[in-house]
Amino acid sequence: MDFRSAEEHLLLQQSLRDFLAGEFPPAKLRALWAGEAQRGGALWAALAELGVCGMLIAEEHGGLGLDLVAAANMLEEAGRAALAEPLASAIVAAPLLAELGGALAEEWLPQIAAGRAVVAVGHPLFAAVEDADCAQLLLLPGAQFALHAVPRAAAQCESLPSSDPSRFLAKVSFDSDAHPPLAEGARARALWDAVLLRGALTCAAQAIGVCEQLLQMSVAYTSERRQFGKPVGSFQALKHKLADVKLKLEYARPLVQRAAHSLAQQAEHPQCGVHISMAKLLACEAAEFAARQALQCHGAIGYTWEQDLHIWMRRAWSLAQSWGSARFHLSRVREPLLGGAFPIGPATTFATGETT
Amino acid sequence: MELRYTDEQRAFRREAREWLEANVPSGPLPSFDTAEGARLHREWEAKLNAGGWAMVPWPVEFGGRGADLFEWLIFEEEYYRAGAPKRINQNGIFLLGPTIMEFGTKQQKARFLPKMASSEEVWAQGWSEPNAGSDMANIQATALRDGGHYIVNGQKTWASRGAFADWLFGMFRSDPDSERHRGLSFILVPLNLPGITVRPIPQLDGLPGFAEVFFDDVRVPAENRLGEEGAGWRVAMATAGFERGLMLRSPARFQHTAQRLVSLCRAHRELVGEALQDEVARCWIGAEAYALETYRTVSKLLAGGKIGSESSLNKVFWSELDLRMHELALQILGECGPASENAAAAEWLDGYLFALSGPIYAGTNEIQRNIIAERILGMPR
């Protein structure tokens, strides 16, 4: 039993953090928002150079061969930097391609790892596809949960509005006769289930980084801003708001780490889906709560377009809506919990049939 | 990251489970805040101690098993799983014990720890005074040196377990010219000394869970001081850390309550609306989050890390979770009709009354939030 991140994962996380702090200041994100820059460009290539795009891809395909526990650490940094590159899509797509195998995997996995291609993944439960705008290949649901691989050029994408300009959503349609399914029936359903869990995990891990960033910005601002002759952060009304953010953050974090661990070793964790849903729920709620408190702590300056705070507020909102809402994930905990689907109580937290 | 127990940890769990299943009293004991309940809880503690289970993380020479903190968590899980009695000597074993382990002399450890483990000596807390509650540095009770003794005068209040305890620990002002947190000493006082008056105070449930304690020229041997003279604040902060953190409130307690709440909700599911069911699920998630965070903390501690102000996060989290769980249980019972009609309802109501004290004792949650903001987040004072 050792519930700590591996030393080498923390080093990778730190190097990504340092890289993004240097290479991806808010000004670059604003340029992207203004249409003056594109995603999947030089920054994406530099991330590929660091191994980030192919972290889950096997070394034989040019990746780092890491697992989801490491990926969760890296995604925290994507959240902290409000990275707008299609990193989450790479995390969702790579294991799906590997599972599908064959020529498709041989062709696309090395390209994802090298930062030369983006593969976007839809889901039968959700109408919108993220990152279809900059993808070269789309993995999409068809009739009866069938799974289709469709080149971006062969699909019709209609952009959808988003509260977060960093989040690119599209409604995608394609000709299923021209692109016959790669998987159908029970196999396809199992693949979509795994996609959903990975997608939710990417949101949860990023939300932790977003929450930390919002908290850090709020502490810094309230320590500096003076009213009544002292820093506003010396007033208990604001201290208690930010203490509450810290509380939500600290108790969401281990849920996310455990969920990543369970998903990485799915075969041993029959409650993996519950672990993912509770992590997604609490991490995204922590980030949304942080966004609300951060805005209040900043006052009017935080309510301006010019102040960078809303970059992370919007991330918090969009992550909460991606890969299943709070209500969706809460129901995925509530139903098996109240239905008695798994043992609960003391001595069951890490139980995989070993304690009884 | 390794989230499986070792073979040794599993064997330890089996051993604890077997002993508890064979020895835990079948029905609940009367409250330890009654004379009869206190006697029965002391009997249970003696049995626990005879089995070697009274305080598993302590060294064997002091009545423990030399277990590590993971084994401590495992033991606690088994203890709550078995429905074993509450710990009458929690002020001793969970708060003062670890403090003596850290600050006590060799003689003090040998003198106090074994009798604490066996609950032959039950301890009361003596922190608060009428004018030193949240503002603990405003302590006025004095302990002035007179040769080999301290002469103690003043008043302590809200002394938990004071009514039936044998000893009291607390902070007293040993330097009469000192102010605030300087000049305080941490002193261990037998409650049977001449000049001590204990006046039990009934709590919300009507039972004397705490007491006022008056000191009138009480002569306490100087060897009963824990830590250096005048360094009482530092010693007390360590005790408070144990109180807020994983010693006093290990996660099994709340997982046990969450399990009862889920069972209650399941049993009345057709009467309980989805909104309430969602809240129950959230409580269960909260209890799991607390358990996971505790395992993470213990992993850090065993790797040589330290726990400091983080214990304030624990205290706010578990106390508010506990209260929420009891509120929900009463709401569910309310959906089912008059709540006073059955034993389960009475147990939840008792639990609710106790849970209401959680955000107050061990430093109010407002004080904890100040600590979180100032010492963890670094916000200005």
Mean pLDDT by 10 residues, chain B (381 residues): 95 97 95 97 97 95 93 96 96 94 96 97 97 95 98 97 97 96 97 98 96 98 98 91 78 97 94 95 98 95 88 96 97 78 85 96 96 98 94
| A352, pLDDT greater than 60 | no
Question: Token pair of A178, please?
Answer: 């021209």
A144: exposed, middle or buried (C-beta count within 10 Å: 0-12, 13-18, 19+)?
exposed
Number of structural domains chain B divides into = 3
Same domain, B206 and B271: no
pLDDT at A354 over 60: no
Residue B378 is nearest to which of A1, A219, A354, comparing CB atoms? Answer: A219
Nearest to A6 among B1, B9, B295 (CB): B1
Contacts of B2 in chain A (CB under 8 A): 1-2
Contact list, B265 vs chain A (CB under 8 Å):
338
Q: Which residues of A touch B77 (CB under 8 A)?
A: 346-347
Nearest CA in chain A to B73: A347
Please indicate whether, in this complex, the C-beta atoms of B78 and A347 are within 8 angstroms of each other.
yes
Q: Which domains, and CATH codes, for chain A?
A: 198-338 (1.20.140.10)
The 10 Å Cβ neighbour count of residue A13 is 20
Is position B113 within any domain? no
On chain A, the residues whose CB falls within 8 A of the CB of B78 are 346-347
Is some CB atom of chain B closer than 8 A to the CB atom of A284?
no
Total CB pairs under 8 A between chain A and B? 174
Tell me if B39 sits within 8 A of B164, measured CB to CB.
no
Residues of B annotated as part of the active site: 243
Q: Which of B66, B88, B110 is the last residue of a domain?
A: B88
The residue among B18, B285, B367 with the most chain A CBs within 10 A of its CB, best to mutate, is: B285
Query: For an interface test with A, which of B369, B374, B376, B381 has the most A Cβ atoms less than 10 Å from its Cβ?
Result: B369
> Same structural domain for residues B26 and B137?
no
Does A354 reach chain B within 8 Å, measured CB to CB?
Answer: yes
The CATH number linked to B139 is: 2.40.110.10
Closest-CA residue of chain B to A348: B77
> pLDDT above 70 covers what percent of chain B?
99
Domain boundary among B44, B73, B88: B88
Cβ distance of A282 and B280 shorter than 8 Å: no
**Is the confidence at residue A71, as pLDDT, over 70?**
yes
Q: Are B150 and B187 in contact (CB under 8 A)?
A: yes
Q: Which of B40, B71, B88 is the last residue of a domain?
A: B88
A1 touching B, CB under 8 A? Answer: yes
3-class SS string, chain B: CECCCCHHHHHHHHHHHHHHHHHCCCCCCCCCCCHHHHHHHHHHHHHHHHCCCCCCCCCHHHCCCCCCHHHHHHHHHHHHHCCCCCCCCHHHHHHHHHHHHHHCCHHHHHHHHHHHHCCCCCEEEECCECCECCCHHHCCCEEEEECCEEEEEEEEEEEECCCCCCEEEEEEECCCCCCCCCCEEEEEEECCCCCEEEEEECCCCCCCCEEEEEEEEEEEEHHHEECCCCEHHHHHHHHHHHHHCCCCCCCHHHHHHHHHHHHHHHHCCCCCCHHHHHHHHHHHHHHHHHHHHHHHHHHHHHCCCCCCCHHHHHHHHHHHHHHHHHHHHHHHHHHCCCHHHCHHHHHHHHHHHHHCCCCCCCCCHHHHHHHHHHHHCCCCC
Distance from the A285 Cα atom to the nearest Cα atom in chain B, whole angstroms = 12
Structural domain contains residue B149: yes
**DSSP 8-state secondary structure symbol assigned to residue A148:** E
Hey, are the CB atoms on A338 and B366 less than 8 Å from each other?
A: no
- Is residue B73 in a domain? yes
CB contact under 8 A, B380 and A231: yes
Same domain, B12 and B40: yes
Q: 3-state DSSP call for residue A294? A: helix
A349 with B81: Cβ contact below 8 A? no
Residue B241 located in a structural domain: no
Distance from CA of B291 to the nearest CA of A (A): 8
Of A258, A282, A347, the CB nearest to B3: A258
Answer whether A249's CB lies under 8 Å from A322's CB.
Answer: no
pLDDT at A356: 41
| Residue among B73, B249, B365, B377 with most chain A CBs within 10 A, to mutate | B377
The alpha carbon of A92 is separated from its chain's Cα centroid by a whole number of angstroms, namely 9
Q: How far is Cα B17 from Cα B5, in angstroms, rounded to an integer?
A: 15
A98 touches chain B (CB under 8 A): no
pLDDT tens digits, residue range B143-186? 999 999 999 999 999 999 999 999 999 999 999 999 999 999 99
The b/e string for A178-213 (b: 16+ C-beta within 10 A; e otherwise) is ebebbbeeeebbebbebbbbbbbbbbbbbbbbbbbb
Residue B17 burial (10 A CB sphere; 0-12, 13-18, 19+): buried
Estimate to the nearest angstrom the gap between the alpha carbon of B158 and the chain centroid. Answer: 14
Same domain, B176 and B75: no
Output the pLDDT for position B343.
78
Which residues have a Cβ under 8 Å from the Cβ of A118 and sit 6 or more positions away? A40, A44, A86, A89, A90, A112, A131, A134, A135, A136, A137
Q: Are residues B281 and B365 located together in one domain of the fold?
A: yes
Q: What is the token pair recorded at A196?
A: 């959903």
In A, minimum Cα distance to B262 occurs at A338
In a domain, B145, yes or no: yes
pLDDT digit string (tens) for A335-345? 999 999 999 99
B207 & B324 share domain: no
Assess whether B127 and B178 both reside in one domain.
Answer: yes
Same domain, B22 and B136: no
Residues B189 and B274 occupy one common structural domain:
no
Compute the distance between CA of residue A84 and CA of residue A206 in angstroms, rounded to an integer. Answer: 11
Q: What is the mean pLDDT of chain A?
A: 96
CB contact under 8 A, A1 and B9: yes
Is B45 part of a structural domain of the chain?
A: yes
- On whether both B31 and B136 belong to a single domain, the answer is no
Phi, psi of A172 (to 5 degrees): -120, 135
Give the total residue count for chain A.
Answer: 356
Reported as a single tens digit per residue, the pLDDT across A300-349 is: 999 999 999 999 999 999 999 999 999 999 999 999 999 999 999 999 99
Determine whether the interchain pair B3/A334 forms a contact, defined as Cβ–Cβ distance below 8 Å: no
Residue B105 lies in a domain: no
Asked, for residue B243, whether it belongs to a domain, the answer is: no
The verdict on A152 touching B (C-beta cutoff 8 Å) is no
Q: Confirm or reject contact between A349 and chain B (CB < 8 A).
A: yes
Half-sphere exposure of B341 (CA within 13 A, CB side): 6
pLDDT of A185 strictly over 50: yes
A354 contacts B5? CB cut-off 8 A: yes
Q: Assess whether B12 and B61 both reside in one domain.
A: yes
Task: Examine the predicted complex and report whether its ipTM is higher than 0.85.
Answer: yes
Q: Are residues B195 and B167 in the same domain?
A: yes
Nearest to B259 among A242, A247, A344 (CB): A344
Q: Which residues of B touch A297 (CB under 8 A)?
A: none
The CATH number that applies at residue B270 is 1.20.140.10
**With bands split at pLDDT 50, 70 and 90, how would you rate the model's confidence at A269?**
confident
A240 vs B269: CB contact, 8 Å cut-off?
Answer: no
Tokens describing residue A13:
């996380």
Domain carrying residue B296: 249-376
A248 and B CB contact within 8 Å: no
- Residues in Cβ contact with B262 at an 8 Å cutoff, skipping those fewer than 6 apart: A337, A338, A344, B280, B284
Instruction: Using an 8 Å CB-CB cutoff, list chain B residues near A240.
Output: 366, 369-370, 373
The answer to whether A7 faces chain B, any CB pair under 8 Å, is: no
CB contact under 8 A, A2 and B299: yes
Is B3–A261 a contact, with Cβ atoms under 8 angstroms apart?
A: yes
Interfacial A residues in 61-80 facing B (CB < 8 Å): 69
The answer on pLDDT for A134 being more than 80 is yes
Say what the pLDDT of residue B267 is. Answer: 93
pLDDT number for residue A355 = 44
The whole-angstrom separation of Cα B38 and Cα B32 is 4
